[in-house]
Amino acid sequence: MLSFPFDLYLGGFLVSLGFALVAVPIWKKLCTSFNLIDDPGHRKIHSVPTPLAGGPGVFSAMVATLFLGAGVFLIFPSVVRSDSTLVAGSALLHGINRRTPQLLVLLMGSCGMLLLGLFDDRFELPARWKFLGQLLIAGLTAAAGLRITLFVPNLFFSYAITILWVLTVTNALNFLDNMNGLCTGIGIIVAWACAWLAAVHGQYLVAFIAFTAAGSLLGFLPYNFPKASAFLGDAGSHLVGYWCAVLTILPNYYPTTGTRLDKWVVLIPLLLLAVPLLDLVYVVALRWRIGQPVYLGDTNHISHRLVRRGYSRSHAVLLILLTTAIACFLAVWAVA
C-alpha cells in the first residue's frame, strides 16, 4: 500500500464541509420560495414549516468539491510536492482516467435520486412511481459497471444483486429519516468508514469521493441536529441512501489471511450498514404481518421504540449513531 496522504484528502473533506455550510442557507431560501417545505402534521415531530434544503445543499457541496479537486489535479498536478502526495496524486489521476464512466454514473445516479426525491417532496409521488424511478437508477448504476459479484461468475446474478442492494439501502435510509440528524449521521459515519477502507487499500479516487460525501453531510448536520432549521426530505434521504449503497461497493475488499474466512470479506458492506438494514427488515416484516402496506410509514422504527422506552429523541439518535460507528469500526478493523 502506498503511503496515504491524509492531509491532502482531508482537505477535500474540509472543503466539502465548508461548501455545505455556505450552500444550505442559500438552498433554504430557494426551497422556501419554491414551496419545498415540510409542514407540521400527522407523525411529524416539528411544529413549524421547515425547508427541505438538505438534499440540494449536500449534493451541490459534493459536486463542487469533486470538480474543484479534479480541476486541481488535472490542471495543476505539481501542486502536490512531497513524494507520497505526488505518488498519490498520480494514483488519483489514474483512478479518474480508469473509472471516469463509473464516476459520471455515480454523479448522474445521485442527481437522479435527488430529482426523484424532489418530485416526491413537492408532489407526493405514488409509491409505485417512486419505486420505478429507484429501479431505473439502480439498473443504470449496475449497467455502468458498479456491480457486486460475490464470487458468482454470472452477469444476470451480478445485475440482480446490485439492483437489489441499491434499492434496499436507499429505502432503508429513507425509512430511517424520521428524526433530526439520524439519516445524516449514519451517512457521515458510513462514508467516513468507506473512505478509510479505500485508503487502506490505496484506492485514492474512492477515498476522495467518500471523504467528500462525509464532509458535505457533516456540513449539513448543524442545520439538522439537534434542532432542525432544514430537513433532508425525500430528496436528501434518497441521496444519502444511494451514496451509502454505492460507496460500500466501490472499495475492493481484498483477502488478507489466505484462509477460508477470506471469502467473507465481501460481506463487509452488510456490517457497515447493519443498523439501517436491520431496522428495514424489522419494520417491513412487522407491516407485512399486520397486513399494512410496506411503504406506509409508521412509528415502529428503532428510533421510535427507543423514545417510547424513555429516551429523548436526541439521545435515541446518538445511541443509534454510536451503534453504527461501532459496526463500522469493526468493519474497518476486519480488513485493515
Question: Where along the chain do its domains lie?
Answer: 6-256
- Reported pTM: 0.89
pLDDT at 254: 57
Could you report the per-residue pLDDT of 177-214, keeping only the tens digit for each? 999 999 999 999 999 999 988 888 778 888 889 999 99
> Cα separation of 12 and 4, whole Å?
14
Q: 239 is written with which cell numbers?
A: 441521496
Burial (Cβ within 10 Å: 0-12, 13-18, ≥19) of residue 333: exposed
Give the 3-state secondary structure of residue 37. strand
The 8-class DSSP code of residue 224 comes to T
Q: Rounded CA gap, 2 and 91, in Å? A: 9
**pLDDT at 88 (0 to 100):** 52
Q: Percent of the chain beyond pLDDT 90?
A: 56
* Spatial CA neighbour of 64 closest among 24, 92, 8: 24
Predicted local distance difference test score (pLDDT) of residue 149:
79
